[in-house]
């Protein structure tokens, strides 16, 4: 019986002590004059540094919902014989169709550098090429007040631009429309493709 009594006493003491470990600050005052009691609470929010880039089909917008999506879009042109060399043509494909892609950059730690990189001109695999200088990217308004500009495309090169930042926050989007100048007459063939013959452009966003 004594053992049981001791155990019960320990449990009671522990139960009394536990609230003292978790209670918020308290302040008790008494007296006949005006009284003031104060208590304090500390708050802390930890936000991770992040960087989000989307070009084309993807998951996430300038407003949020960021996630990785491995889908790679292809923009294509297939002019008829009568159209070759006669002037600018909109592309086919893109998540917005008509050769237009959704472009988004969001970051929270300073200026973002946005670049485009190609390994070469567009090639037909037989020594004939079409320069990336024939492809222009036109950025137009999507949802953000400031439109996300696009770095130019160049043969076997990287071009880069610094994006506008407000209070260390970059939050930009745009609709990027790709146009083929079509002002020359190339040798017949298929130039570029799905990660072949110089057909892939790599966009990179870099955050310090």
The DSSP annotation for 53-92 comes to EEESS-EEETTEEEE--------B----TTTTTSS-EE-B
Question: Which among 66, 55, 22, 194 has a CA at the least distance from the CA of 122?
Answer: 194
Angstrom distance (rounded) from CA 68 to CA 53: 9
Name the pLDDT band for 28 (thresholds 50, 70, 90): confident
CB contact set of 180 (below 8 Å; sequence gap of 6+): 77, 79, 88, 89, 91, 134, 135
Where does the pLDDT of residue 69 fall: very low under 50, low under 70, confident under 90, or very high at 90 and above?
A: very high
| Residue 59 or residue 208, greater confidence | 59
Number of H helices, E strands in the chain: 1, 12
Out of 35-39, 102-106, 124-128, 201-205, least confident range = 35-39
Tell me, rounded to whole angstroms, the distance of Cα 135 from its chain centroid: 23
Mean pLDDT for 146-157 is: 98
Query: Where are the chain's structural domains?
Result: 51-206
CA 117 to centroid of chain Cα atoms: 17
Residue 66 backbone dihedrals phi, psi, to 5 degrees: -70, 140
Task: Look up the pTM and report it.
Answer: 0.84
- What's the full length of the chain, in residues? 208
Has residue 138 got a pLDDT over 50? yes
User: Where does 22-169 show beta strands of DSSP type E?
Assistant: 51-55, 59-61, 64-67, 89-90, 100-107, 113-117, 122-123, 129-130, 135-140, 158-162
- Return the pLDDT at 23: 53
What pLDDT score was predicted for residue 24? 62
Rounded to the nearest integer, the mean pLDDT of the chain is: 91
């Amino acid at each position: 019986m004594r053992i049981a009594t001791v155990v019960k006493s320990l449990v009671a003491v522990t139960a009394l002590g536990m609230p003292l470990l978790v209670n918020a600050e308290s302040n008790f005052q008494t007296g006949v004059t005006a009284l003031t009691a104060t208590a304090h609470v500390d708050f802390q929010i930890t936000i991770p540094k992040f960087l989000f880039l989307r070009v084309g089909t993807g998951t996430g917008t300038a407003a949020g919902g960021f996630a990785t999506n491995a889908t790679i879009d292809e923009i294509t042109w297939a002019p008829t014989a009568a159209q070759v060399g006669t002037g600018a043509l909109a592309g086919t494909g893109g998540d917005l169709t008509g050769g237009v892609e959704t472009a988004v950059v969001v970051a929270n730690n300073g200026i973002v550098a946005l670049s485009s990189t190609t390994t070469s001109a567009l090639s037909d695999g037989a020594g004939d090429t079409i320069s990336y200088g024939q492809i222009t990217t036109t950025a137009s308004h999507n949802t953000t007040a400031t439109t996300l500009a696009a770095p130019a495309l160049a043969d076997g090169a990287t071009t880069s631009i610094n994006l506008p930042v407000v209070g260390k926050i970059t939050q930009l989007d745009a609709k990027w429309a790709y146009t083929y100048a079509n002002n020359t007459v190339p040798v017949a063939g298929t130039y570029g493709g799905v990660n072949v013959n110089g057909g892939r452009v790599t966009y990179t966003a870099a955050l310090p």
